[in-house]
Amino acid sequence: MRRKVYVTAIGALLLLPALAAQGQTLKRQDVIWARSTAGAVITLDGNLNEPAWANAEMVRLQYGKDAGIPGSGWRSEGGSAPSDPLDATLKFLVAGNQFYLGITAKDSSIGGGGFNQFDAVLMNLRRKNEPPNHGAFEYFLAWWDLNPNTVKKGALPAFFGPAGDRTIPANVDAWDAVTTVQGITNSDTAADQGYVMEFRMNLTPRGYDVTRPAGDILSFNISMYDGDWQWPLNQQKFSRNRTRT
């Protein structure tokens, strides 16, 4: 069922001033619904095969196309214009006081590298009633060579950010994710098809309670990074960019 649980863009943190300078017009959309699973169990396995996901509200995020939400936009981080621009579908659910996000991304070239030269998902879920100028609390899942295991052939992304250390149980309780890849990461010998990321974020530490009859409003945003054609490096096709909402 649809409950009064909304996901809102938190506004510009880093990207919006650059977008405004480029003269891009941002359309307005007040909220995105997050549908309650009504007791259904979500297994965090990176497959999105539970019936609840089929009925979840969704947003399509594409490089070069306005998502119609405040703060939305895109930015090149260098290299060529993308020949395989980001095209991802985001789905939103809540179960108990847990926020679930499912991402299905089409991508022909998946893998890692230096900062802003990787495939990654960077999210911020602000603490409820937190001042706008307060520092971000970031959830960061990335093929980033800061963890050298992520740039090996066939590797999965690693967790980064304030609660990234997986050896600390409280961090795992705060958020977790599973990624499945359709292809072989860090190898461009053959084209990949894409990847799926399934996230769970505990809302209690962030001060939200979506189990209330009145629901709650989550101040949330996301940037998706897309680095292509660098395994091995193809100078003519290599591109890196990010798209956010």
- Residue 22 confidence (pLDDT): 33
Residue 28: which pLDDT band, with cuts at 50, 70 and 90? very low
pLDDT grade for 215, boundaries at 50, 70 and 90: confident
Q: What is the DSSP string of the chain?
A: ---SEEEE----SSSHHHHHHTT--------EE-EE-TTPPPP-SS---SHHHHTSEEEEEETTS--SSTT-EEEEEEESPPSS--EEEEEEEEETTEEEEEEEEE-SS---BSTTSS-EEEEEEPPTT--TTSPP-EEEEE-BTTSGGGGSTTPPPEEESTT--TTSHHHHHHEEEEEEEES-TT--SS---EEEEEEEEESGGGT--TTSTT-EEEEEEEEEEEEESBTTB-TTT-EEEEEE-
Tell whether the model's pLDDT for residue 15 goes beyond 50. no
- Asked whether residue 17 carries a pLDDT value surpassing 70, the answer given is no
The ranges assigned to domains in the chain are 5-244
From the CB of residue 182, how many other CB atoms can be counted at a distance below 10 Å? 14
> What are the pLDDT digits (tens) for 143-199?
999 999 999 999 999 999 999 999 999 999 999 999 999 999 999 999 999 999 999
Q: How far apart are CA 193 and CA 177, in angstroms?
A: 20
pTM to 2 decimals?
0.87
Give, in order, the Cα–Cα distances in Å from 192 to each of 35, 185, 200: 31, 8, 25
Question: What is the bridge-based pairing of β-strands 138-142 and 120-125?
Answer: antiparallel
pLDDT tens digit string along 105-143? 999 999 999 999 999 999 999 888 877 666 678 999 999
Q: Which tens digits make up the pLDDT trace of 218-242?
A: 888 899 999 999 999 999 999 999 9
Residue keyed to tokens 């095969």: 49
How many C-beta atoms surround the C-beta of residue 233 within 10 A? 10
CATH (residue range 5-244): 2.60.40.1190
- CB half-sphere exposure, 114, CA atoms < 13 A: 4
The chain-wide mean pLDDT, for the chain, equals: 86
Query: Which pLDDT band holds residue 214 (cuts at 50, 70, 90)?
Result: confident
Q: Which residues contact 68 (CB under 8 A, 6 or more apart)?
A: 27, 28, 29
User: With 50 as the cut, is the pLDDT of residue 24 above it?
Assistant: no
pLDDT in tens, 82-103: 999 999 999 999 999 999 999 9
Neighbours of 236 (CB within 10 A): 8
